[in-house]
Structure 1
């Protein structure tokens, strides 16, 4: 629950899970103790966080989840990737604490971990190795090495045994699974996702065949050749594992072979073997053209760590070390923290500078010094080191140079190409996603059957005047209101757009055009099929021209509501809050659209002017009424005067419809509002892109130390974050 603080989330869970025999004080103590055990004491009063408020990091959220599950000290505990998102030091302390709790009461823990450090690996008593669903080994952890030796695969010296085992049994470096999904279009296959991206990013001078070859080659480089025709997968269909999705994301970003590539946790969700192969392949690509890679990795294996040329260690935003990876060990030795033999250096560095588990670190150092004091020593030592001075000197030299600058990566494809590709991709996604339009079509058919049977064969009596008006109002208001059902799917599209836009795959205008044209066929189907059911069951005015206008007006209303929800999505990215906001806006428009309160009776300030003319229901109601009542006559209910009443009289006197212009003008106004709303969406996105950096710059806390991210001889930097 994103609005709760860490303390509240764990305490509420303690109240729900722990027995009533425990007092509130005891439950609170258990909750606080568990929070401290997971190293979250400094974040106790921080909200979990979501779209509306910045909160915990991914690793901290994972620890909160573990806190909640171990409150009751369960007899059997299943942990799916409990260390995902944690650095190696935090992983060790979390797993060590869980195992200590288990040993106290002889409890059983079953955990799946893709990249255990050597220290974490030593904590486990038994090991189960799987490859493509088959059991390779299941037995004592200590006996696993002998098993591999007997089968001709001894573990090399100075290598983490778990890395060796996973690399040996991994036939295509793909057995990873995590619950965290990358932002990808779930209905596309791997080949389609990468190929569409290639069309969007690569220049028009390349032929389609060349783009396809580049896409296929990149897929093979990431070891995804066996999953080329597998869908990404989501809630409606099982697809790729979390690790495979991460590799698809990497495929998409390296298609253009960028000069500077930022990788945020590229190995998250991959086992150690897959991590090595993926990073090794990326680095080989970088070395071919002397490209620069900046990667943040929490738990690099020893093999992955050796691939990096430069290392930046951060602790609570302060630079602990920045320089050559090979010189890092000497730096730690000089400051009194040598790396023990047979230990992964990155595990040692991260554990030393991690203060989340300060008490445990203190014990691990023999009680001589706390982690906080150790970090202060490193920061002071680095500031006075020759490496720091060299970096600052190099930055100064760069600032004085007049050479060219590295431009932000953008799409090399033309605007027309972007529009065509996005239209095709969105059309395929909408076709395959049941929740986008097909489920809505089924609901519309059901609603129109209800409307058709309730108002069946309405006739031409005097009482049918009110019934026709009510039926048409329902179509104009509530039937179009259901268009907000596609909002969650559009929010997912917005997430994909945000990621791809950030990397310059295409522009906002191309996204708007692609989304608009791809949705037209589906909205036409929804307008025609359910519309025909309602129209002919009710027995509205005969004539194909009247039905065509009815369907066209319904189509324009649905497009308008979708355009309105696009604006809402640009302001409120959360699908639940967005639906509430969109429903509220439509409710206000519906209320003063001219049916519930006739136009002449609306209060003139605000509701008549301007809200009545802003609400699209005004034009929808008037268009439907003109289309239905013009040309018809109805018998009068009261004696005296002419025996019949014309449709024009009903429009003027009963519904107060403006008859000074044609019904086609109402349709034109609605389509004009569609264009206006989509332009507003485009404008809001562009405005947000301009304003957000300014706001972040004004609200950002100035760093204590500014450190560059590149040194003269480097093409690769590994950034370890705490």
Structure 2
């Protein structure tokens, strides 16, 4: 048997178009997709410098050991197809190219290294086709503090078209929850490694629900059963098979080691080994095909296990003993090219287009509006802002963070309890402590924002859920509403405990300066995090940067060396400290008078070294409005840099 005989009968099944769809998400209201991939190859360039490595290790190297660029072949001429109503599984050992192939057919892999043809309904995939393609990555990228229902409602509000009302989108969410059996955990937080939430199988179903909400015609899943036990994997595969057979979707999934019960549900199987195709055909014909080319198990076993053994170059000889047999993979690759490949191409050429598969084609009003069109920019902003607040409120007002701020506030209040106005040095130490604390804390917390969200952000942007500007603006507004509460509480508690300049106006001015400073420091963290996109490296850089800002802030060193004086004028701490001094002591005339000094330029002023030091410390050489303007431009400029850094991220 060729292993491909009878595959054409797969598309013949029960008529699913008996009734007109009532749910706008009903798969019969969207056009079906027949996926074909012909001679797909993918190569990546590997850069190596063997001479430098050997020199570093102290080993001799030949003159020929120079920097070389080599190419590694990930996929080599893979061909196949899957039609509406079919469930195709891509099998193969780790490193065989399964994930690369799925990324390619889902439109997530581009570049000069990808060659061959990937066709949707015998044409190159368009943007509209990609919008009808759902892709479920191997890793479950979900917000941990949101419940299952909240997660899916936000996805529905962002991804479903404007032609549907909010109630329609919520009903679509409820329909998907019931379809995937998530009703028992819909009000449970998703969780992660540190937060207890739903189970692994439920997390995978939520990831699939993400894509089902858009009613995809083509659903591509990368290792959906990874990390699941046999029973959970079986239930998940049963759900996927039901989507293909009962709802006419085109379903493609990679799977590492399926059980025999799971294997029986696959309509079509594609076996890969080192990027080459060893088998493509009906799953039920696989064992007969390999027997026909001289490979059969010594005893009854799971067909999937047998296929994976062959893909690894292992076969059973000498009474069933597993041994490496030379050229197993090469023999199977040659057999495929000789026996199966011609039949695959013949079958693909003869397969009718979806327009001829009338059982899946139904005229539905506003189909185009359902498939295309997303929420407006302002709606995206409002939805993303609500989601951000729901997710980040747990982090922003975490018990440990609140304790940290309250403890620092009480400690400062007790250390400087009702300090004397004339104790200038102590007061300046307090003001500088406030500047240090609210410069380091916001910048260090903000630096993790974009690196932690990069994976989710990249996936959602690739799916077209929202624009970059709406996502970024939601973060800017969200920081204004959440990140300013704790500094305001800190200052309110500390200000009156230490007895700073009395009166509502000085307090409000000090609070305004502090909040502007917090926003500027936070912007620095956002910019560094977005530019580096590595949480560990970014946190190190922001720590060094804030250390430089603190040293040049004006308290520790007044006469900064000429070669480093520029650091003082880019320091957020410097401007905040100067403004706080100005609010407490005005132009410095009164406090200088306590030391028998007068302002510079006053006739007959005493110009001792002590007077010069106090003038530099209290008055400074930067105007007040200049300091405010610089902090404001830092607040805006750092965020602009962060936005530009996010734009360069490849989806």
What range is the shorter-chain TM-score in?
0.5 to 0.7
Higher relative contact order structure (alpha carbons within 8 Å, sequence separation ≥ 6) = 2
Are 1:207 and 2:165 matched, yes or no?
Answer: yes
How far apart, in 2, do the equivalents of 1:465 and 1:346 lie?
79
Q: 1:675 aligns with which of 620, 636, 651?
A: 636
Are 1:621 and 2:577 matched, yes or no?
Answer: yes
Q: 1:558 aligns with which of 511, 518, 528?
A: 518
Are 1:257 and 2:215 matched, yes or no?
Answer: yes
How far apart, in 1, do the equivalents of 2:522 and 2:267 lie?
50
The answer for the alignment partner of 2:380 in structure 1 is: 418
CA deviations over 1:74-101 (Å, ceiling 9, x no partner): xxxxxxxxxxxxx9989xxxxxxxxxxx
The answer for the alignment partner of 1:543 in structure 2 is: 503
Q: 2:183 aligns with which of 214, 217, 225?
A: 225
The alpha-carbon deviation at position 368 of structure 1 amounts to 9.3
Are 1:500 and 2:446 matched, yes or no?
Answer: no
The answer for the alignment partner of 2:275 in structure 1 is: 317
Q: Is the 8 A contact 1:310 1:324 kept in 2?
A: yes
The answer for the alignment partner of 2:233 in structure 1 is: 275
How far apart, in 2, do the equivalents of 1:429 and 1:303 lie?
39
Moved more, 332-341 or 518-527: 332-341
CA deviations over 1:462-485 (Å, ceiling 9, x no partner): xx2222222212211233212224
The answer for the alignment partner of 1:705 in structure 2 is: none
Q: 1:238 aligns with which of 167, 191, 196?
A: 196
Q: Is the 8 A contact 1:276 1:304 kept in 2?
A: yes
CA deviations over 1:228-262 (Å, ceiling 9, x no partner): 11111245642211111111111112210223332
The 1:342/1:667 distance shift into structure 2, 3 A limit, reads farther
SS of match in other structure, 1:608: helix
SS of match in other structure, 1:678: helix
The alpha-carbon deviation at position 488 of structure 1 amounts to 5.0
Output aligned runs, 1:27-106, within 5 Å. none
The answer for the alignment partner of 1:653 in structure 2 is: 616
Output aligned runs, 1:342-361, within 5 Å. 342-355=300-313
The 1:594/1:422 distance shift into structure 2, 3 A limit, reads same
The answer for the alignment partner of 1:608 in structure 2 is: 565
Output aligned runs, 1:483-494, within 5 Å. 483=442, 484-485=444-445, 487=447, 491-494=451-454
Are 1:636 and 2:598 matched, yes or no?
Answer: no
How far apart, in 2, do the equivalents of 1:430 and 1:661 lie?
35
Output aligned runs, 1:14-25, within 5 Å. none
Report how many residues are paired. Answer: 490
The alpha-carbon deviation at position 369 of structure 1 amounts to 6.7
The alpha-carbon deviation at position 350 of structure 1 amounts to 0.8
The alpha-carbon deviation at position 637 of structure 1 amounts to 3.2
SS of match in other structure, 1:312: strand
Q: Is the 8 A contact 2:161 2:372 kept in 1?
A: no
The alpha-carbon deviation at position 372 of structure 1 amounts to 5.2
Q: 1:443 aligns with which of 404, 415, 428?
A: 404
The 1:272/1:364 distance shift into structure 2, 3 A limit, reads farther
The alpha-carbon deviation at position 212 of structure 1 amounts to 0.6
How far apart, in 2, do the equivalents of 1:275 and 1:199 lie?
30
The alpha-carbon deviation at position 546 of structure 1 amounts to 1.9
Output aligned runs, 1:181-192, within 5 Å. 182-192=140-150
The normalised TM-score by structure 2 is: 0.67
The normalised TM-score by structure 1 is: 0.61
The answer for the alignment partner of 1:298 in structure 2 is: 256
Q: 1:373 aligns with which of 307, 318, 327?
A: 327
Q: Is the 8 A contact 2:225 2:233 kept in 1?
A: yes
Q: Is the 8 A contact 2:162 2:373 kept in 1?
A: no
SS of match in other structure, 1:343: coil
Q: Is the 8 A contact 2:587 2:619 kept in 1?
A: no
Q: 1:328 aligns with which of 286, 289, 297?
A: 286
How far apart, in 2, do the equivalents of 1:680 and 1:487 lie?
13
Are 1:459 and 2:412 matched, yes or no?
Answer: no
Structure 1 runs not aligned, ≥5 long: 1-86, 91-179, 399-408, 691-722
Q: Is the 8 A contact 1:481 1:561 kept in 2?
A: yes
Moved more, 419-428 or 554-563: 554-563
The answer for the alignment partner of 2:488 in structure 1 is: 528
How far apart, in 2, do the equivalents of 1:438 and 1:516 lie?
23
The alpha-carbon deviation at position 529 of structure 1 amounts to 0.8
